[in-house]
Structures are given as C-alpha cells and as structure tokens.
Chain A
C-alpha cells in the first residue's frame, strides 16, 4: 500500500533510497505512527526527507497518495476557484459590530450555504466568497468565520500538506539574502587550490614527533582567498520588477567576506562600450577599461532579464541611450567580455519558461544562463568554478 508513495516521492525528485525506506518500515514496526495518518506524515517526513527545500515536494506527494483516504468534507471545486481571487488588503472591510457566531452555528450555516450557493459572490454578508462581511471565504471581515482557501485551518496531516507551507523553502524559488550568501560561499572552495608552498608548523611538529624526532617538514597549499568577482547588473526599464531581488543578490555578494576582490557595475539592457559604477548610470567606466584593469582570473556574473528589442542587441549603435554611438553591437561586446574573462555566467530573474525570447536565446549561446534563484545561483557558481 505504501510503495506507490515511495515512487511518487521519487517521481517528484525527492531523493529517497532503499535504506531510508527500510528505516521507515522499521519505524512503522515500532508502531511509531500509532496507526494514524497524522503521525505517519511526520514520521515519514523525518526519515525520508533531508532538506526543508524538499518539504514542499513531500507535501505534494503526500496529497497525491493519501488525500482520497481522508474522510473530510469536500469543498466544491468551483468554490475553490472563486476563492482563488486575490483581494487587495486595503479593500478589506472593517469588522462589523455584530456578535460572533458559535462554532456549531457556524458549521451549520456553512453546510447550508454549501448546499444552496449556485454562483460566485464577492463582498456582501451572506455567501461564500472573498471580501465582504460574510463569515465564509477569505479576505473578508467577520468576528467569527470559516476561512476557505489559503493557509490556516486545523492541523490534520492532509491539511498541513495542503497548506504547502514549505513552498517558500523550495530551492527553485527565490529567497533571501542569506540563502544567496550560502550559495555564493561555494566559490570559497577555490581557496584551497594551488601548490603546497606554506610550512605548516603544527603538522610538522606532529609529523616529526611521530617520526621519532627526525624532522619531517609538512607543506600546505596557501589558504588565501583567491576568488575575485565582478558583478554586472542590469538596471532600469524591464528590470524594475526585479530590483529587490537583484538588491538582495548584490548585498549577499557585497557582505560576503570571502572574496579577495569584489567589484560591481551597472548597465542597461546589455553591456556596450560603457558600464556604470552607480545605479543611476551617471558615472561611466569604459568596458575596455575593465579588460585592462582586471585579469582574466576574475569571475564575472551578469544579472539581467536579457529581454530587449533585437535591434538593441544585434546592431551596432543599438544602445537604447541615444548618445551612444557604437561601432560594436551588444552581442559583440558580450563576446569580448566572454573572451577576456573565461569564467562567466548570466543570471536571469525571468522565469525559465519565458526564455524562448530571441535576445535571450542569442545571449544564452554566448554566456551560460541560469535562473536567478538559489538553485540557479548555486549552479552558476559551480559553472564558474569549472570554467
């Protein structure tokens, strides 16, 4: 009965293996789940899932396999759809001064409405819907009530799974500065590379003692921070919706103390003959200057949506700023950057499913592109390390 659950988990890319599965069976033999689905939910999760990033996938698998088996009342599908509507919090009405309903009364009325209600209602004080002062639905206001849709509700396993509370912990979603920092930290692995050049005194003493007093010198590779990073960020225009996201990536990189050198510049749409050292693009730096100043050991991360008019990418003088008169197209500049700095990656905040845009495809051919998510950044960092 449980094996389909195992394979559903695997199908949803939760890496469970035989040994974990056997451990779960062992747990079940100890009667840890207490023959209850709720306990089974936590038992199986603790043993099978090893990262909060995978909790959401686990919840999904759990729903697929066990939802049918719970005898809870089913809310009509269409009612769920009516309630999918988002309501602006500002439009939320004030709580009216009426007496709260008792739980029994509330449940009685709710079942009544479920039977009677035939169409969508938003606002108003009686039916299930969003807003208004009816006790049923969400984003409304009533001193008591049943919220339908969104998180909340009891703590039964299927309910917990349904809430999908861990959606935000998924690694293919974008999160906060701290997680970016963790991802960037992977660049630090580079630090221990190189020739063994430094005398390690502790190890030498130890080795010598083990060697019965014959001196045995131990050398280690230098442990200096060797990572140098240039961050080039697209600002303005279509990037505005992602400003906060780019900000958190920047602050993560900026606050990371494990770079030997960290530089950042801004551009608009694509890198042309100039980049800018400030967000408002007032202080220009020649792109050619970057090539002179920074050795090719610098790693480069470009951040941008790579979405622009094809003219802006493929034609010389395509720069959107009219005073740019350019002998090279944006694409050519990217090629030059790519040639100088061999280890280079592009992070795109645009979700991957929109990447069939002509300029994105063209840029992708030159610079490896990754989505600007925690997982994407980690992959980009791995790519930088390999290059």
Chain B
C-alpha cells in the first residue's frame, strides 16, 4: 500500500510520506493546518487511492465519544414496550453502532475520518484513547465485545481551536499542512480548472498571494477561497485586464468586514 496522491488531490512530497508512515505503522494520522488547506479532502483522497470506503464522523461541540462507538436507543425500546411490536427483551435490537463501531465491524478495511476533533469537549479525545489503541470496545448492555475485523486507517483533523491531550497525541502520527507555495498552488489550481488560461491563472494566483501578504487581515484567504474566487472569475468572464487594475469579486476572498476596509485603502478605490 503506497499513497501517491490522487488525480483530484495534489499532495506535497512530505505529505505523501507521512500518509505512508501512518499506513505502515498503523497509527492514527492527525492533520492540522490553517482552515481551508484541504485536511478533510485528504482523507477522501487517501480512501480513493487505496480503494477503501470512507466513513466520516463529523464532530460538533456537543458530540460525545460514546456516540462514535454505539448508542443504546432507550426511548425506542420504551416506546416498543408500550405500543410497539417486536421483542423488547432483545436489547441488541436497540444498540446502534456509531461511526467508529461501523468501522470496526466492516468486513473490508476502511478509512475512518474524525473531522474537526477540536470542536468537541476537551475530554473527548481521551475518551476514545483505549478504543482507538486496541481497536475494540465493549457494549455493556449486551455484554458484547466489538473487535475490529480489519484495522481501519484513522484520519483525524483539527483546527487547533483547543489543545489536544498529550496522551492522545502520543499515539498519533502528526502532520501540519503548510500553506502551499506558489508552485504547488499552481498545480492545485490546475487540478480544479484544467482549462483555465495560463496567463489569467498566473495573474490570479499572484493577486491572491499579494492579498494574503497584506498585514492586518483578520482572516487571510485560503486555498478553498481561491478556488471559489477563480470559479466566480470564470463564471463572470473576467479577463486579465480586470485583474490588473482591480480585484473583482473580492467578497469571495475576504470574509470580514474589517478586512474589506483594508483593500479600499491599498487600492485607493
């Protein structure tokens, strides 16, 4: 198994290597990086490249670790016992596996994406430690052990809104996705817009890095914003000339009101 990037995802050399490290020493891969540098897309790309299904668990601020393992639907059981049919003595029927559980029982090895783990409660990663380490858990209600048939590749993304616990970090392979340099960005754009005229592309990317270099930006635009911006430029049929004297559709790149005031000064609009 060797990950080399996919057609729709341009990975830097170091990134490819890190993915292969995680694959062969069988540890979770923790990805950090500025928002919009393609952390989530990478998981999809890995899954495609090594032909495994992707299971995606999106973490919210209220998500509990238990939900990823299994849920015991007590309310359904209560409802069934009063009004429903079926055998309420069979607790198994009311156990629903979460994404981690699904990944464990899957016959084929999968890629399990735990997206934006830092959104959840501080204790969340710790609650998953043993399960991800041993790749098994115990369902108290039924006395059943769920053991991973095939060890899934776990990919975890974080926007570093919260610090992750040390014990958790110790078990991961870590990679920080840096913001791409101009060359890599050129290749990334090419993947998304293969037909884009090269002069226009160059000018747009140059403009984009110019904007990123402005100081005082509260939120500098990221790759995904560049892609949006380019599609809007193409959709509106902008040409090279427009890009030279102005920044059309600035709203695609800059999302904060304070930041919009800065370009007005720089461009003397």
Q: A15-B166, A52-B176 are in contact. Are A27 and B75 (CB under 8 A)?
A: no
Chain A contact surface mostly: helix
Q: How far is the CA of A47 from the CA of B258 in the complex (A)?
A: 40
Q: Taking the nearest CB of chain B, how far is it from the CB of A176, in angstroms?
A: 8
| Among A17-25, A225-233, A319-327, the stretch in contact with B | A17-25
Contacts of B178 in A (CB 8 A): 165
Q: How far is the CA of A212 from the CA of B83 in the complex (A)?
A: 16
Contact B160 A182 (CB under 8 A): yes
| Among A141-149, A202-210, A293-301, the stretch in contact with B | A202-210
Q: A42-B18, A206-B74, A209-B74 are in contact. Are A50 and B25 (CB under 8 A)?
A: no
Residue of A nearest to B166 (CB): A15
Contact A177 B218 (CB under 8 A): yes
Residues of chain B from 179 to 220 with CB closer than 8 A to chain A in the complex: 215-216, 218-219
Instruction: Bin chain A's interface residue count.
Output: 20 to 34
Contacts of B161 in A (CB 8 A): 182, 185
Contact A42 B17 (CB under 8 A): yes
Contacts of B14 in A (CB 8 A): 42
Let me know if A257 is at the binding interface, CB within 8 A.
no
Contact A50 B160 (CB under 8 A): no
Q: A19-B170, A55-B176 are in contact. Are A43 and B32 (CB under 8 A)?
A: no
Contact B162 A185 (CB under 8 A): yes
Let me know if B78 is at the binding interface, CB within 8 A.
yes
Q: How far is the CA of A43 from the CA of B175 in the complex (A)?
A: 10
Contact A50 B17 (CB under 8 A): no
Q: How far is the CA of A88 from the CA of B41 in the complex (A)?
A: 41
Contacts of B78 in A (CB 8 A): 209, 213
Contacts of A185 in B (CB 8 A): 161-162
Q: Taking the nearest CB of chain A, how far is it from the CB of B44, in angstroms?
A: 20
Residue of A nearest to B74 (CB): A209
Let me know if B173 is at the binding interface, CB within 8 A.
yes
Number of B residues near A (Cβ < 8 Å) is 35
Q: A206-B74, A209-B77, A209-B78 are in contact. Are A39 and B162 (CB under 8 A)?
A: no
Contact A46 B173 (CB under 8 A): yes
Let me know if B20 is at the binding interface, CB within 8 A.
yes
Contacts of A205 in B (CB 8 A): 74-75
Contact B17 A30 (CB under 8 A): no
Let me know if A155 is at the binding interface, CB within 8 A.
yes
Let me know if B172 is at the binding interface, CB within 8 A.
yes
Residues of chain A from 162 to 186 with CB closer than 8 A to chain B in the complex: 165, 169, 177-178, 182, 185
Let me know if A26 is at the binding interface, CB within 8 A.
yes
Q: How far is the CA of A169 from the CA of B215 in the complex (A)?
A: 17
Q: Taking the nearest CB of chain A, how far is it from the CB of B208, in angstroms?
A: 19
Let me know if A251 is at the binding interface, CB within 8 A.
yes
Quick one: which of B21, B74, B160, B162 contacts A47, CB cutoff 8 A?
Answer: B21
Contacts of A177 in B (CB 8 A): 218
Q: How far is the CA of A165 from the CA of B209 in the complex (A)?
A: 17
Q: Taking the nearest CB of chain B, how far is it from the CB of A172, in angstroms?
A: 15
| Interface membership of chain B positions 18-40, coded 1 if the CB is closer than 8 angstroms to chain A and 0 otherwise | 10111011010010100000000
Contact A17 B174 (CB under 8 A): no
Q: How far is the CA of A23 from the CA of B169 in the complex (A)?
A: 13
Contact B24 A30 (CB under 8 A): yes
Contact B173 A47 (CB under 8 A): yes
Residue of B nearest to A213 (CB): B78
Q: A23-B27, A189-B122, A209-B75 are in contact. Are A51 and B21 (CB under 8 A)?
A: no
Contact B218 A27 (CB under 8 A): no
Q: Taking the nearest CB of chain A, how far is it from the CB of B179, in angstroms?
A: 11
Let me know if A32 is at the binding interface, CB within 8 A.
yes
Residue of A nearest to B168 (CB): A50
Contacts of B215 in A (CB 8 A): 244
Q: How far is the CA of A229 from the CA of B107 in the complex (A)?
A: 53
Q: How far is the CA of A42 from the CA of B16 in the complex (A)?
A: 10
Contacts of A334 in B (CB 8 A): none
Contact A46 B21 (CB under 8 A): yes
Q: How far is the CA of A291 from the CA of B266 in the complex (A)?
A: 44
Contacts of B85 in A (CB 8 A): none
Q: Taking the nearest CB of chain A, how far is it from the CB of B262, in angstroms?
A: 13
Let me know if A49 is at the binding interface, CB within 8 A.
yes
Q: How far is the CA of A124 from the CA of B176 in the complex (A)?
A: 41
Contact B25 A26 (CB under 8 A): yes
Residues of chain B from 124 to 175 with CB closer than 8 A to chain A in the complex: 160-162, 166, 169-175
Q: How far is the CA of A245 from the CA of B171 in the complex (A)?
A: 36
Q: A20-B170, A46-B173 are in contact. Are A52 and B32 (CB under 8 A)?
A: yes
Residue of A nearest to B20 (CB): A32
Contact B20 A50 (CB under 8 A): no
Quick one: which of A46, A169, A209 contacts B175, CB cutoff 8 A?
Answer: A46
Q: How far is the CA of A50 from the CA of B17 in the complex (A)?
A: 16
Q: How far is the CA of A206 from the CA of B72 in the complex (A)?
A: 9
Q: How far is the CA of A224 from the CA of B172 in the complex (A)?
A: 34
Q: Taking the nearest CB of chain A, how far is it from the CB of B42, in angstroms?
A: 14
Contacts of B18 in A (CB 8 A): 42, 46
Q: Taking the nearest CB of chain A, how far is it from the CB of B11, in angstroms?
A: 12
Contact A50 B172 (CB under 8 A): yes
Q: How far is the CA of A300 from the CA of B258 in the complex (A)?
A: 27
Can you list 13 residue pairs at the A/B interface with Cβ under 8 Å?
A: A27-B21, A32-B17, A32-B20, A32-B21, A42-B14, A50-B166, A50-B174, A51-B32, A51-B174, A182-B160, A182-B162, A205-B74, A244-B216
Apart from the given pairs A39-B17, A177-B218, A244-B215, 16 other A-B contacts in the complex at a CB distance below 8 Å = A17-B170, A23-B27, A27-B24, A32-B24, A46-B17, A47-B174, A50-B30, A50-B169, A50-B174, A51-B169, A51-B174, A55-B176, A206-B75, A209-B74, A209-B77, A210-B74
